[in-house]
Amino acid sequence: MADIVVYHNGECSKCRGALELLQEIGVPHEVRFYISEPLSVEEIRILLRQLDLPVAELIRKGEALYTERYTNAELSDEGWIQVLIEHPQLMQRPIVLKGDKAIIARPPEKVLEFVK
């Protein structure tokens, strides 16, 4: 397993940008296609610890699905984790993991400092 893991949505330009930067500087990495290979509840909990974020900050609130179904939702942390399980497209991206730390690489250039 590579030291760097990129949680990637192939339709996301920011994800593609982060991957391109890693490739340009020759950093070995794995890609986790979290849309087709959704994270488990435990993986999301671990990722939240690695990001040092509450689950609410992992939710993409600008997505149409969020505004249509969840804008006024009052869910517990576990409830939001279940939303991410059911709708992985609502997860912030790209997420880059290195060791036991992770970042949301927006803008993608944040990945360059993170992997040094």
- Assess contact for 12 and 93: CB atoms under 8 A: yes
Does the active-site annotation cover 12?
Answer: yes
How far, in Å, CA of 107 to CA of 105, rounded? 6
**pTM greater than 0.75 (yes/no):** yes
Which of these, 10, 13, 14, lies nearest to 107 by C-alpha position? 14
| Helices marked H in 1-116 | 13-24, 41-51, 64-69, 77-86, 110-114
**pLDDT for 88 beyond 80:** yes
CATH number for 4-114: choose from 3.30.70.270, 2.40.50.140, 3.20.20.70, 3.40.30.10.
Answer: 3.40.30.10
Per-residue confidence (pLDDT) for residue 2, from 0 to 100: 73
Per-residue confidence (pLDDT) for residue 116, from 0 to 100: 87
| Active-site annotation holder among 12, 31, 53, 75 | 12
**pLDDT for 1 beyond 70:** no
Max CA distance (Å), the chain: 44
Over range 70-88, report the average pLDDT.
97
How far, in Å, CA of 26 to CA of 33, rounded? 20
Of residues 66 and 116, which shows the higher confidence score?
A: 66
